[in-house]
Amino acid sequence: MRLTQSIYSLAIMAAIGAASLTAGKKAVGQAEFSSFVYIGNDDYYNANPLKGDGDFYNPVIAGWYSDPSIVRTGEDYYLVTSTFGYFPGVPLYHSRDLVNWRLVRNILDRPEQLPGLVGQSLDRGGIYAPQISYNPHNSIYYMITTDVGSKEGHFYVTATDPEGSWSNPVWLKGIDGIDPSLFFDDDGSAYIVYKEDTTGRPKWSNYRCIRFIAFDPESGQTVGDSWPLAEAGVGPEEHLDRDEGPHIYKIDGRYFLICAEGGTSNHHSAVIYRADSLRGEFTRWSRNPALTQRYLKDKRTNPITCTGHADLVMTPEGEWWGVFLGCRPGPGGFQALGRETYLMPVKWSRDGFPYFTQSQDTVPLTLHREGVKHDPSWGSSGNFIWSDDFKGESLRPEWIGLRGTTADYCHLDGECLRMQCCRELSTGKGVPAYVGRRIQHHKFEASTRVRFKPRNGGESAGLLMLKNESRQYYLAVCGDRVELRTLSPKEVRVIASAEMPCKAGRDVELRVVSDGICYDFYVREAARDAEWTPVAEDVDASYLACERTGGFTGATIGLYAESRD
């Protein structure tokens, strides 16, 4: 990649909080998006083709799919992950083999299921660490989670068919904190384990902050008082962030508790406890952590880092496997992918504790599971092509927006996605005219075909790359020019531009190409054999990197239309 034109800038102060949420719904110009293509091209997959049936890639769900939780009923596995400030919330994946995962729907897909997202931070508020479970005593699936920025906090929704519609939220009383998880015992009793509010508590030491409370499936509410984790055994030798993300399992008559520990960065891990009773002492495994990569060298080839927040599942054949989150830094040592979903077989220690890694064991990027054939067309792992011509009756479940439904701004007409410009901006805390999908590769190409003629100088539409409210690249069609802008709550900065290759109102194609270190942005007329015109090249990809921005989400890329008049 090389810089082919000078980069100039223009600072424009944006209106912060000036427009009301209802004002953002006022429609003006309209963009017509008729295609979107995403092509993954990571080096590891190109250099390491799978050798045969049974081989598969880690992560099994690439890109920002963090805090995975898994459940099996019969031959079917279902998996959910966090969505924070995005809507619809909580993607539901289905698999029959643990390796190939298909996104079947988003569980929280109605505004009444997520009423509190507006006003919250995109990558620090919203839906944290959902857990999916199945109660065999009433044949009902549960998804329980926390809306961190809402006043109510914890809630769950239910379904008898997980691939169908889920109920409205049931808000829970009697518990605080985050990361609730349901457990249904053999005798029909049920419990919630969670991380309590830690305000004023020590950050580390033997204080674990995990609590339990009984749950009544008939009334749908907690029962009685909660009680704390009673810990016995060896404590940590390091000062590590307290436990969170707990899950309970009953295996051969004994209770196992798995928790995330050490924070969410490079010290992240999973630890295991065991007890004869939920109200009894939980023995902390003397060889914890049961999963981590923190003992490995930072500068290693193809590293996986930050592993933790695990969940276990037993196959119909009686084997144990587990899913967990991890990060995959790219060629420049940074990444915009966020926390991804990994899969590994579970091992058992001689003293009867489950674990994934010990000491300097590495999480492999390629594994083997007998009888399974990896299918890249599912769009969950490896290099693949994903496209949309917007001719369906509804948006595909990969498309997500910010904090609420985009139904007021976007609709499908059988030929394209029509998106109205609106005054609610992507840098605010409302619901802008944006639909995006997760970036799943370091090296990728994404393009869209759009027809747009602004009604005034404040309108634009195009391709938006978004990490949070303050870090965004916007390839914008705005009249007779195409501009690459950075967007933040304080300013719009135009860093490069090019003339439109055709008259305003005719179809053009926009494209971004990433090599994992830099982005190149292009435009061309949507005509046969048209050449791509560079708008900007060698644009810093670390601007959207998780290591620079913080937060809990990865970057998304998608379609956007705004009005600043």
231-245, 389-403, 527-541: range with lowest mean pLDDT: 231-245
206-210, 262-266, 492-496, 506-510: range with lowest mean pLDDT: 206-210
| 179: pLDDT strictly greater than 60 | yes
Tokens 């059988």 locate to: 414
What span, in angstroms and rounded, lies between the C-alpha atoms of 35 and 428? 27
Please, are residues 543 and 332 in contact by the beta-carbon 8 Å criterion?
no
Beta bridge partners of residue 95, listed in sequence order: 77
Phi-psi region of 133 (alpha: psi -120 to 50; beta: other; left: phi over 0): beta
In a 10 Å sphere around its CB, with 0-12 CB exposed, 13-18 middle and 19+ buried, how is residue 484 labelled?
buried
Q: Strand, helix or coil at 33?
A: strand
Q: Which residue has the higher pLDDT, 63 or 173?
A: 63
Q: Which pLDDT value is given to residue 31?
A: 97
Mean pLDDT of 431-443: 98
Whether 244 is a known active-site residue: answer yes
What span, in angstroms and rounded, lies between the C-alpha atoms of 147 and 100? 29
| 298: pLDDT strictly greater than 80 | yes
Q: Which pLDDT value is given to residue 232?
A: 82
| 325: pLDDT strictly greater than 50 | yes
Query: For residue 452, which of 27, 28, 24, 33 has the smallest C-alpha distance?
Result: 33
Place 234 in a pLDDT band, splitting at 50, 70 and 90.
Answer: low
Q: Which pLDDT value is given to residue 13?
A: 33
Place 205 in a pLDDT band, splitting at 50, 70 and 90.
Answer: low
Q: Residues 32, 179, 231, 244: which is the catalytic one?
A: 244
Query: For residue 501, which of 472, 479, 533 has the smallest C-alpha distance?
Result: 533
Place 236 in a pLDDT band, splitting at 50, 70 and 90.
Answer: low
- Quick: pLDDT tens for 369-384: 999 999 999 999 999 9
Q: What is the helix, strand, coil percentage profile of the chain, to 5?
A: 5, 45, 50
- Quick: pLDDT tens for 84-111: 999 999 999 999 999 999 999 999 999 9
Report how far apart, in Å, the C-alpha atoms of 559 and of each of 166, 185, 314, 434 are. Answer: 28, 46, 40, 6
Please, are residues 126 and 473 in contact by the beta-carbon 8 Å criterion?
no
| 445: pLDDT strictly greater than 90 | yes
Please, are residues 78 and 92 in contact by the beta-carbon 8 Å criterion?
yes
Question: Beta 89-95 vs 76-80: how paired, if at all?
Answer: antiparallel
- Quick: pLDDT tens for 36-67: 999 999 999 999 999 989 999 999 999 999 99
Q: Which pLDDT value is given to residue 235?
A: 64
Please, are residues 135 and 217 in contact by the beta-carbon 8 Å criterion?
yes
Please, are residues 485 and 10 in contact by the beta-carbon 8 Å criterion?
no
Sheet strands (E) in 136-188: 140-147, 154-159, 170-171, 178-184
| 22: pLDDT strictly greater than 80 | no
> Residue 547 belongs to what H/E stretch?
helix 546-549
Percent of the chain's residues with pLDDT above 70: 93
> Residue 47 belongs to what H/E stretch?
helix 43-47
Place 204 in a pLDDT band, splitting at 50, 70 and 90.
Answer: low
Beta bridge partners of residue 324, listed in sequence order: 342
Q: Which pLDDT value is given to residue 238?
A: 66
Q: Which pLDDT value is given to residue 12?
A: 34
| 20: pLDDT strictly greater than 50 | no
Task: Tell me the average pLDDT of the chain.
Answer: 92
Query: Per-residue DSSP letters for 455-497?
Result: SSTTEEEEEEEEEETTEEEEEEEETTEEEEEEE-SSEEEEEEE
In a 10 Å sphere around its CB, with 0-12 CB exposed, 13-18 middle and 19+ buried, how is residue 204 labelled?
middle
Q: Which two tokens stand for residue 79?
A: 């998996």
What span, in angstroms and rounded, lies between the C-alpha atoms of 193 and 178? 10
Q: Residues 67, 147, 196, 515: which is the catalytic one?
A: 67
Q: Which residue has the higher pLDDT, 234 or 502?
A: 502
Tell me how far apart the terminal alpha carbons of the chain are, to the nearest angstrom: 36
Sheet strands (E) in 189-301: 190-195, 210-216, 221-228, 230-233, 244-251, 254-261, 269-275, 281-284, 291-292
